[in-house]
Structure formats: structure tokens, C-alpha cells
Structure 1
Amino acid sequence: MVTEEEIEKVAKLMKIEVDDHKEYVDKVHAMIDYFDILDSAGVEDEEISMQEIPITALREDKHIPFDEKLIEKLNHYKGTYVRAPKMS
């Protein structure tokens, strides 16, 4: 299974600080257990039927020109970059 060393290695590769590696080991094990439950559901032999849609029934893409500078309409931008809220 997953070890604390593997969690630490992945955290370093992702350049994130992880204080409690044991907490993440437990979370990864819980995810793997859940995938085991999904794998045991036995849906391999179920056939999924989908309605076919002819290409003629799809909408035609149309180009609609936009002459204004969209970046200038944004509230939070710097140069050509848009500032988004921090992810926590």
C-alpha cells in the first residue's frame, strides 16, 4: 500500500508542504478501499446503450466576432494575466 515516504515524495514533487503525512496515508487508503468496492460491483458485463445522434442533428458552429478587448472588461487583471482567488 501507500507509505508515508511515498506521500512525502509526492508532496515534494508537487512542491506542497504536508505537516502530517500519516493523515494523507489514511486518506489514500480510504480512496483505494473505495475503488476496491467499485471494482467488486460486477458491472463488466453490463452493456451501456446510447442513442445514436446523426451528424445532421448537431448544431453548426458559427464564428461570432468579438471586437472589444475582453481582458479590459475584467476586474482583476495585470498585463495579460487574470488574477484568480487563491486556492486553499
Structure 2
Amino acid sequence: MVSEEEIEIVTKMMKIDVHDHKEFIDKVHTMIDYFGILDSAGVEGEEIVMDDISISSLRKDEHIPYPDKLIEKLNHYKGTYVRAPKMV
């Protein structure tokens, strides 16, 4: 289905440094098989059908005051900003 040469071409086009292209052949076949499963699911369109829910049947939102400042409970904050971990 997918050859080592095809994977090598794709990695060169995407500028990805891959030393052993044979390693990815099984992974690519697994992904293609998974797409086959998704294709056979029989989904005709992107629209999701859901039952209508009356607004009167939903719970009423209530404001519950919190006595402490939540930002002071965080480990890494500066002023009104929260420091999140670096994305790799």
C-alpha cells in the first residue's frame, strides 16, 4: 500500500528528519486502515441531529460568591496574568 520510498518523499517535502523510514510503514498502514473504518461508518453529512430541549427544563443558574481571590491561589501568576507551562 505505502512504500518506504513514498514515506521518504513525504518526509523530505515536510522537511522532517527521519533516519529509518521502514519504521513508519506500519504506522501509516494503521492510520489508513483507521480511515477505512471511519469511511465505513455510514455518516451521510456533518449535521448532528439532537432532540430539542425546552429552556424551562434547564436548571437555573445561580451566582455563588467566593470569599477569596482565586488568582492568589495559583502558583504562577503576575498581576492579573497566569503563567502557563511552555508548549513544546
Higher Rg:
2
Please, what TM-score do these two structures have when normalized by structure 1? 0.48
